[in-house]
A and B are shown apart, each in its own frame.
Chain A
Amino acid sequence: MAKTPITFTLNDSEVALFADHGAALIDVLRRGVGDLTPKQGCAQGTCGACTVLIDGKPHLSCLTLAETVEGRRIDTVGGLANGRDLDVLQTTFMEGFAAQCGFCTAGMLLAAKSLLERVPNPDRAEVIEAISGNLCRCTGYEPIVDAILLAAAKMQGRAV
Chain B
Amino acid sequence: MLSVETYQTMAEAAGAMTDRSRFLGGGTLVMRAVNYGDQSFDRIIRSRQIENSIRSESGGIRIGAGATMADILASREVSFLHQVARLIGGPAIRNMATVGGNLFAPHPYGDLATALLALDARVVMTNGQAEPMESFLAGRSHARNLVTAVIVPNVSETEFRFAKISRVKPKGVALLSVAAWLRRGDVRLAWGGMGPTPLRSKAAERALSSGGQLDEAGIAPALAICTQDLQPADDALATAWYRREVAPVHLKRLLLNGGRL
Residue of A nearest to B94 (CB): A133
Q: How far is the CB of A157 from chain B (nearest CB, A)?
A: 26
Interface residues of B in 46-65 (CB under 8 A from A): 46
Question: Known contacts A132-B90, A133-B171: does B95 contact A65 (CB below 8 Å)?
Answer: no
B35 contacts A62, C-beta separation under 8 Å = yes
Q: How far is the CB of B74 from chain A (nearest CB, A)?
A: 11
Q: How far is the CB of A56 from chain B (nearest CB, A)?
A: 10
Interface residue A21 (Cβ < 8 Å from any Cβ of B): yes
Query: Which one, A44, A58, A59, A131, contacts B35 given CB within 8 A?
Result: A44
Interface residues of B in 126-163 (CB under 8 A from A): none
What CA separation (Å) do A134 and B92 show in the bound complex?
9
Interface residue A117 (Cβ < 8 Å from any Cβ of B): no
Q: How far is the CB of A84 from chain B (nearest CB, A)?
A: 29
Question: Known contacts A1-B1, A48-B92: does B32 contact A129 (CB below 8 Å)?
Answer: no
B27 contacts A48, C-beta separation under 8 Å = no
The residues of B that contact A114 with a CB separation of less than 8 Å are: 91
Number of interface residues of A (CB under 8 A): 31
Question: Known contacts A45-B28, A68-B27: does B92 contact A133 (CB below 8 Å)?
Answer: yes
Number of interface residues of B (CB under 8 A): 26
The residues of A that contact B1 with a CB separation of less than 8 Å are: 1-2, 21
What CA separation (Å) do A21 and B91 show in the bound complex?
27
Q: How far is the CB of A70 from chain B (nearest CB, A)?
A: 10
The residues of A that contact B247 with a CB separation of less than 8 Å are: none
Interface residues of B in 83-103 (CB under 8 A from A): 89-93, 95-96
What CA separation (Å) do A65 and B91 show in the bound complex?
18
The residues of A that contact B70 with a CB separation of less than 8 Å are: 57
The residues of B that contact A128 with a CB separation of less than 8 Å are: 170
The residues of B that contact A100 with a CB separation of less than 8 Å are: none
A24 contacts B36, C-beta separation under 8 Å = no
Interface residue B16 (Cβ < 8 Å from any Cβ of A): no
The 7 A-B pairs with the shortest beta carbon distances in the complex, nearest first, are: A133-B90, A22-B2, A43-B35, A58-B92, A132-B171, A63-B31, A132-B90
Residues in A lying within 8 Å of B, measured CB to CB: 1-2, 4, 21-22, 24, 43-45, 48, 51, 54, 57-60, 62-65, 67-68, 111, 114, 128-134
Residues in B lying within 8 Å of A, measured CB to CB: 1-4, 6, 24, 26-28, 31-32, 34-36, 44, 46, 70, 89-93, 95-96, 170-171
- Interchain Cβ contacts under 8 Å between A and B, 26 examples: A21-B1, A21-B3, A21-B4, A22-B3, A24-B31, A24-B35, A43-B32, A44-B32, A44-B36, A54-B95, A57-B95, A59-B95, A62-B31, A63-B27, A63-B31, A63-B32, A64-B96, A65-B27, A65-B31, A67-B6, A68-B24, A68-B46, A114-B91, A130-B91, A133-B91, A133-B92
